Amino acid sequence: MGDLIESYEPIKQDLVMSDIFAESGMFPDIKSKAQALVKVLAGKELGISAFEAMASIYIFNGKLTLTSKAMASLIKKSPNIDYRVDDLTDEACSISFYQEVGDKETNLGTSTFTFKDAAKAGLVNKDVWKSYPRNMLFSRALSNGARWFCPEVLSGYCTTEEVDDIIIEPIKKTIELTENGVKDGEETV
C-alpha cells in the first residue's frame, strides 16, 4: 500500500493545480477539473509547464491541439531540431527544417503553404484568414513541416488554427429498399 501512496503523490500537486485552473475561469475550453488535469499532464509529456499547457493546449472536439506558438517553441527547444522562416508574405510562407548531428546541420526539407493552397482548402473567406493571412500561412507551413520532418517533437498534435479551419459536417447517405434489394442513394451534405 505504501508504494501506491508514493506513486500517487506526484499527481496530487497536478490535481490541486488543475482544480485552481478550472475554478479560475481563465480557460474557456475547460469545463471540468478532469479536463484541466488532462491538459496539465499532456503538457508534462511535452516538457512544458502547467501554466503554459493551460494557455497553449486546447480541447477541441475531444482532441488536444497546440497553438502554433507552442508548436514553434517546442521545435526551438528541441536539442537537435530547428526551423528557419525562408519566406513570409501575405501570399506564402516557406519554412526549412534542420537537424543537427554533432557539428553538422542537415536540411530535412522545406514546408511551403500558399494563399492558393488555403483557397483550394476553402479557408480564405474566414475572417481570421482575411485579417491575419501571414499568421495563418505560418501556422499551416509550420504544422505541415513539423508533421513531415520532426513528428517526434510534437507527438502528433495538430495546431488549434488547423482544427478551427476544419468544418465538420456529417455525410448523409440515403439507402432505399426495393423489391430487388437495397439501392444506394446519393451522398448529401
Q: Tens digit of pLDDT for each residue in 139-172?
A: 999 999 999 999 988 877 777 766 665 544 433 4
- Report the pLDDT value the prediction gives residue 100, as an integer from 0 to 100: 92
d(CA 91, CA 31): 38
Percent of the chain clearing pLDDT 90 (strictly above)? 52
Task: Provide CB contacts within 8 A for 44, sequence distance 6+.
Answer: 14, 50, 53
The sign of the torsion formed by the CA atoms of 112, 116, 119, 125 equals: positive
d(CA 9, CA 27): 26
Hey, what's the cell of 189? 451534405
3-state SS class at 123: coil
Q: What are the residue boundaries of the structural domains of the chain, listed by start?
A: 1-60, 66-174
- Report the pLDDT value the prediction gives residue 70, as an integer from 0 to 100: 92
Rg of the chain (C-alpha set): 21
d(CA 70, CA 55): 9
> What is the CB neighbour count within 10 angstroms for residue 93?
26
d(CA 97, CA 176): 52
pLDDT band at 63 (very low <50, low <70, confident <90, very high): confident
Tens digit of each residue's pLDDT (9 = 90 or more) over 86-139: 999 999 999 999 999 888 999 999 999 999 999 998 899 999 999 999 999 999
Alpha-carbon distances, residue 184 vs 177, 180, 187 (angstroms): 9, 12, 9
Task: Provide CB contacts within 8 A for 42, sequence distance 6+.
Answer: 53, 57, 64
pTM above 0.85, yes or no: no
3-state SS class at 14: helix
Q: How far apart are the first and last CA of the chain?
A: 56
